[in-house]
Amino acid sequence: MADCREQHVAVKFCFLLGKSATETMVILKTAYEDAALNKTRVCERFSRLKNGEMSIEDQLRSGRPATSRSDENLDKINALIRIYRPQTIDQLCEMSGISWSLIHRTLSEDLRMGRVAAIFVPRLLTGEQSNRRL
């Protein structure tokens, strides 16, 4: 997909030339084909430009950040699971105050652990662990 910022610059350029939103849509469709901004986005941009907002950057949004996977949460979950392994994710949620889905994702993706007989264990054994098993 074409860079949206590039298209926002093109929309601003068309606006400054006095083109309408419909004419701008035709130009974008010709240039970017299927990757072009849709009509709603072009009209929103035109509305902002008419209101005097000449920035091509998107406005800041309020709310939670896109991810809460941080080193602090990773260390907290790792410490809790190392203290006492046979814990459910629900128990870890209560102890840490972190959401169930984040704990599950952290255990499986970041710490590479899976559940074996109610105990979280690393998926891959170290060389020493492998030798002890033999």
What is the residue-level pLDDT of the chain in tens, covering all 134 positions? 457 888 889 999 999 999 999 999 999 999 988 888 889 999 998 998 999 888 877 667 676 655 567 788 888 888 888 887 778 888 888 888 888 888 888 888 887 877 655 556 666 777 787 787 76
Our CA dihedral for 51, 56, 59, 60, rounded to 10 degrees, sits at -150
pLDDT in the model for residue 116: 59
Instruction: Please report whether residue 97 resides in a domain.
Output: yes
Instruction: Please report whether residue 129 resides in a domain.
Output: no
Mark whether 76 and 117 lie in a shared domain.
yes
Return the number of other C-beta atoms located less than 10 Å from residue 123's C-beta: 10
Mark whether 45 and 75 lie in a shared domain.
no
pLDDT in the model for residue 119: 59
Contact in structure between 30 and 67 (CB atoms under 8 Å)? no
One-letter amino acid for residue 51 of the chain: N
Instruction: Please report whether residue 16 resides in a domain.
Output: yes
Residues of the domain holding 92: 71-124
> Number of folded domains in the chain?
2
pLDDT in the model for residue 24: 92
